[in-house]
Structure 1
Amino acid sequence: MSSTAVNHGHRDSARRREELREFLRSRRERLSPGAVGFPEAGRRRTPGLRREEVAVLAGVGVSWYTWLEQGRDIKVSDDVLDAVAQALRLDDVEHAHLYRLAGLNPPQRRAAPSTPPSPQIQRLLDTWAPRPAYIRDRHWNFTAVNDAARSAFGYSDTDHNCLVSFFTNARFRVLHQHWDEIAPAVAAGFRADAARYPGDPEFTRIAMELTKLSPEFAQLWARHDAAEHTSAVKAVDHPDVGVMVFEATLLPLPEYPGHHLILHNPVAGSGTEERLERLLGS
């Protein structure tokens, strides 16, 4: 490793520890003693909790917590950071931020149960028309599909799961120009998502049921490939209007962990926008 890279690494680490110091101090100062069960007696020179009070709440040594807040280069563990986060009443975003500032990967946010979209997200789906869009939960179940997606991709009221529909919806398969080429990536994407939630048996149930329905999926699932995709190109050859080519972008919904909004935009110069308007206007 070059000396330049080492110097950059030292500077990045120093900035991170400085941010950690300021973050912990600001979170400590926003809490009143009474809010965490300490007596309010006596005037304090500084607002909020004292360092020793945070240490007591977190169950760690006062010296160790002081070193942490001073931004010293010390070893920390997940359990200790979780205790500090609880003591400082950090929310999920602040909790993850604390992990990153301490040089650790934040814990996986618990996925939200499958839920209909909020009115704000539903309005986005509606106004995205005439372009296709839908929302899927962590198991790839559809929670909302706009009319453009149903018309362009052949989804019907019997399509409840994106993965299952890809491998079992005959109309979707006929429409999709490059189904055989994309199928391995689709199966690999579902396996990668399943690995995010190792204690969730629903992924295994869906996969096992689908192996009985689709020999192609069974073969691909047995390969144990894993892949992550945030964008893709989707081409469909619709019998009514011809070939339409879309850029698909997958966007996480932070307020619903595990849910994603998938937006499809016509590829410029492909004639897709005009064909889509004809399809939906017919």
Structure 2
Amino acid sequence: MDELAAFLRTRRARVLPETVGIPTDARRRVSGLRREEVAHLSGVSVDYYVRLEQGRARQPSAQVLDALARALGLDGVEREHLHRLAHRPAHAPRRASAARPRPELLRVLDLVADAPAFLIDHRMTVLAANRLADLLYGRRLQGLNIARHVFLSEEGRALFADWEACTLDTVGHLRLSAGHHPDDPELAALIGELAMRSDRFRRLWVRADVRTRTHGRKTYQHPSVGPLEVHQENFALPDATGTELVVQSAAPGTAAHDNLRLLASLGATPAPSAGGGCPAEGGDRGGALPEEVA
């Protein structure tokens, strides 16, 4: 399926005509804008826009893409995604199956003693984690795929207090990642598995929403210490791997900070795996993996 064409169709369907000055009446049966209306608003010919939505027009100019983004009301992340879909090479290089974090990055994780912290790849698989992150998830976190945990496990659904918002973020992240890594077979297999096994994932995936998360609130409902509302910061590593350092902290004096301290005191070693329907379990941190994270 042509991802550019599908993305344009889903964005067109969500625009309310009245928000762009187009009057409507009871006879209108189209959800969102018509193709000719998008063409008129963006200043391109109707025939050319139709060919774009049918996957018959290749690599439109940056000016055309910016005009379409304005007409469709795309935000910054969606605009960048639109350009990427239009101009990505026909045969992008394949990604390595996994990344091995550098020892220096592992030391950074160990230095973050009072907050859960972990390294995550573009498929949302945890590459390494500190002790408090293991305790937060109630299991050895390395090797866990967060998307599987969110959609396919009862433990994951119970742990994330705002589960529905979490699913939106997860699907949006994977959509964006699929645009960055279109020829990654493991990412494609993960998306296919989630679509087969989760009705909610399948419904959200067809909306083609893309999201990026750099910081924000994350709320957990931990079975041992209760609610934990933390502030999450995502630090993208300065390379092309898509790996991020995720740190989740709470301000001193808050209930969440007290609960994190309580969680840290619960055990001297990471909690054993709770299973939870997520088969991707990792081994030791220093296990042999084919690629180093720069």
Q: Same fold (TM over 0.5)?
A: yes
Q: Tell me: CA distance 1:276–1:157, structure 2 relative to 1, closer, same or farther (3 Å).
A: closer
Count of aligned pairs? 178
In structure 1, the residue matched to 2:181 is: 197
Once residues 235 and 136 of structure 2 are traced to their aligned partners in structure 1, the CA distance between those partners, rounded to angstroms, is: 20
Q: Following the alignment from structure 2 to structure 1, what is the Cα–Cα distance between the partners of residues 174 and 259?
A: 31
Helix, strand or coil at the partner of 2:114: coil
Q: 1:138 aligns with which of 113, 118, 122?
A: 122
1:254 partnered with 2:238: yes
Unaligned 5+ segments in structure 1 are 1-104
In 2, Cα distance between equivalents of 1:143 and 1:267: 26
Kept in 2, the 8 Å contact 1:136–1:143? The answer is yes
**Where do 1:66-77 residues align within 5 Å?**
none
In structure 2, the residue corresponding to 1:264 is in which secondary structure?
strand
The CA deviation string for residues 100-130 of structure 1, in whole angstroms up to 9 with x for no partner, is xxxxx9x999866522221111011111123
Letter in 1 for 2:264: L
In structure 2, stretches of 5+ residues that fail to align are 1-86, 267-294
The structure number with the bigger radius of gyration is 1
| Residue 182, structure 1, aligned to residue 186, structure 2 | no
For the 8 Å contact 2:116–2:136, the answer to whether it is kept is: yes
Structure 2 counterpart of 1:217:
201
Q: Distance in 1 between matches of 2:196 and 2:142?
A: 18
Given that 2:114 and 2:261 are in contact with CA atoms closer than 8 Å, whether structure 1 keeps it comes out as: yes
Q: Equivalent residues in 2 for 1:121-136 (5 A)?
A: 121-136=105-120
Q: Check whether the contact 2:129–2:141 (CA below 8 A) recurs between aligned residues.
A: no
Structure that is richer in helix per residue: 1
Q: Is 2:228–2:259's contact at 8 Å kept on the other side of the alignment?
A: yes
Indicate whether 1:165 and 2:149 are aligned. Answer: yes
Question: 2:224 aligned with 1:240, yes or no?
Answer: yes
SS in 2 for 1:172: helix
C-alpha separation between the residues in 2 aligned to 1:176 and 1:157? 15
Secondary structure, counterpart of 1:183 in structure 2 = helix
Asked if 2 retains the 8 angstrom alpha-carbon contact of 1:154 and 1:172, the reply is no
**Relative contact order: is structure 1 or structure 2 higher (C-alpha 8 Å, sep ≥ 6)?**
2
Deviation at 1:195, TM superposition (A): 0.3
